[in-house]
Amino acid sequence: MGKRIKNLINSKCSLPVFVFVLSFICYGLLSPWLRFFHDELSILWFYRKMNDVGLFFEGNRPFLKFIYQPFLILFGSNSILWALFGISSRWLLAMSLYWLIKQTWPDKKILAITACLCVVVYPGFQAQFSSMIYGITFFIFSLFLLSLYFSIKTINSPNHKLIYLIISLFFSAISLITSEYFFTLELVRYLLIWITIRKKQNEPNLRNAFYTSSPFLALYVSTIIWRLFQENYETIYSLVLLKNLKTSFFPTLINQIVTTLRDIWYTSLKVWLDSIYPSHLIHEQGQRIIFAYYGLVLILFIAVFIFLKNFVNSDKKATNTAGVPNILAFGIISLIFAGIPFWLAGLPVNEKYFFTRWTIPFMVGSCIVVPQLISLIFKNKLGFIILISALISLGAGTQFLAANLFRHDWENQNHLYWELIWRIPSLKENTVIFSDMMDLHYENSDQLSSGINFALTRKDQVSAIPYFLFYLPERINTSILPEINKNIPIQAKRYYASFQGNTSQALLIDFNPPGCLIILDPILDSENPNLDPLIKQALFLSKPDLIIPNGTSKPDLGTLDIIGTEPQKNWCYYFEKADAASQFRNWDLIGHLYQVVKVKNYKPRDGREWFPFIEGLSHLSKWEEASTITDQAINITANMEPILCALWKRITTETSESTLKQKVVIEINNKLDCK
């Protein structure tokens, strides 16, 4: 059995297969329960509904549209295909680094393999589950590494120099013009060329090195000049560091040195140390997921250990220490070059989702430096294999925990879209939707706007964006919303410029899962002490009558691919239907819905979710039941008395008089201490 395992591991296909399996375990296990996140929603909106994905990239990496377009044609809005693409792109990145190291340092196969495996699981980047965005990003990163690989091949295989040069320049051009992520990492090419030429010649030949580098240097300089002239069109980020240096040189310089050292420490070593116990991920998990995490880490540790041990034992020439200074120097320089675009733009690099993406270019340096440092600490090969296997398995475990947080976020996203569908049969176009900050980690209001438009729009093609969501705390006192007042034109930024709204045509919503989405009532909710003061200040803008009763068609299959299939019809389904029925005064429907939730024993998480049932039962003269669920609303949520008083005041005004009504109303007013 042992001999068979050795033969499998030592076969030519063993590493590519093992790397793909590891990539799938990290990023594919939960993919059936994930859909789309962040900018993916916006990209799909422009591709599907406005028939021009290029609109999304106007003013920020416009050439990316030529990369996205063919993949969108291939994969469309199929999240499983995008997940497989993301897994494959991560595999390609890892294998490209392996090929590059093997081409530059042929005797460093152990380093090549360990760096390859480390790139797959690199725990500093935890957003791979946005498979469309980062599948494309890693595809471009892979082309960049392959460009480096083929540029070294031009030296090592002079018989095919021209074809390798053309391929290398083509791949480099794609990286340089489509994204700034790897723009300064391009500088490591010249170091690799120098190292390769130096190894092939006893005396380093500067002229030969310059001659070999000149085509790439010409391309690089041309691209720099082009980007400087096209800065405003190519990216939304400006060179903040240079501006700050002009106004305050020495404080800015000192601060930048500290930031540089901190970011290099974080992206190279600290992310691996944090993976030993990723507290920011573990604290948000359930018990079953934590058990699964520890089990997965243990299984992967055994698998990686066996894989590496059999390889090291079979390779008698393998060595941990030869050539370490050159390789360490290359890894550290890669880390420095990787951070330059983000330091110039003043962008933070840390574990938060929005900023974790900026760790991507640091992967190469980190995944070369870490194995080499471990090889210096553990001269014994067994100790080296144990520690590197532990880090790789812990990195994979970190990705599994991150995947589960994405799964939770997707469930909340899915509920947001469907609760809007259940509550809003149709909504007047050009309506702006305001809310408090929603507890969704991987989308901001811009991206959620695309999901909401998919949920509420039934047209196959549109020429403008019908609806837009803004977080009030985020937008107030900005150019978008300078103040809370009527008749203020609202125009979204950049790729959403086709939305034209006005504060006089607005809805206010409250969405705080596991509670249900609530359309805020400008009269009742003005008495709600639990609402944020800023939201209460804006309540007068909310116009529920923008909701139109007709229009009950369900989303098409393409839309379901994006917003997800309809979730289980639990309490929130019946609440949303009852809330809509209350708005349109369909009291009989509310009576029917109430009987259903009683039979199913569904209960709300927020006392306000009883309100349409209280009002509907009162209009049906079921006063005792209305009184009973009023008590339940008080018990569920604190400080409900003022808003319940406002509700019962409306009920008292709008319902017919009766002896039982008078009795119940007096009891309720006394209980709630209504003035």
Q: Which residues of the chain have pLDDT under 70?
A: 1-10, 201-205, 231-237, 313-324, 351, 353-354, 552
Q: Which residue has the tokens 């974790």?
A: 356
Q: Which residue has the tokens 């729009």?
A: 457
What confidence score (pLDDT) does residue 397 get?
97
What confidence score (pLDDT) does residue 313 get?
65
What confidence score (pLDDT) does residue 323 get?
54
- In the three-class reduction of DSSP (H, G, I as helix; E, B as strand; rest coil), residue 612 is classed as helix
Helices (H), 433-551: 445-456, 472-475, 533-538
Q: What whole-number distance in Å separates Cα of residue 255 and Cα of residue 240?
A: 13
Distances (CA, A) of 642 to 284, 310, 513, 536, 539: 34, 72, 23, 14, 16
Q: What is the 3-state secondary structure (H, E, C) of 222-288?
A: HHHHHHHHCHHHHCCCCCHHHHHHHHCHHHHHHHHHHHHHHHHHHHHHHHHHHCCCCHHHHCCCCHH
What confidence score (pLDDT) does residue 326 get?
79
Q: Give me the domains of the chain, ranges plus CATH numbers.
A: 17-36+77-406 (no CATH), 568-675 (1.25.40)
Distances (CA, A) of 364 to 124, 137, 179, 340: 12, 14, 17, 15
Residue 347: closest CA among 473, 237, 453? 237
Q: What whole-number distance in Å separates Cα of residue 262 and Cα of residue 270?
A: 10
What confidence score (pLDDT) does residue 237 get?
67
What confidence score (pLDDT) does residue 229 get?
78
Q: What residues does 510 pair with on adjacent strands?
A: 518
Q: What whole-number distance in Å separates Cα of residue 338 and Cα of residue 299?
A: 33
Q: What whole-number distance in Å separates Cα of residue 126 and Cα of residue 131?
A: 12
pTM for the whole structure: 0.92
What confidence score (pLDDT) does residue 392 get?
97
Q: What whole-number distance in Å separates Cα of residue 361 and Cα of residue 363?
A: 5
Q: What is the 3-state secondary structure (H, E, C) of 497-521?
A: CCCEEECCCEEEEECCCCCCCEECC
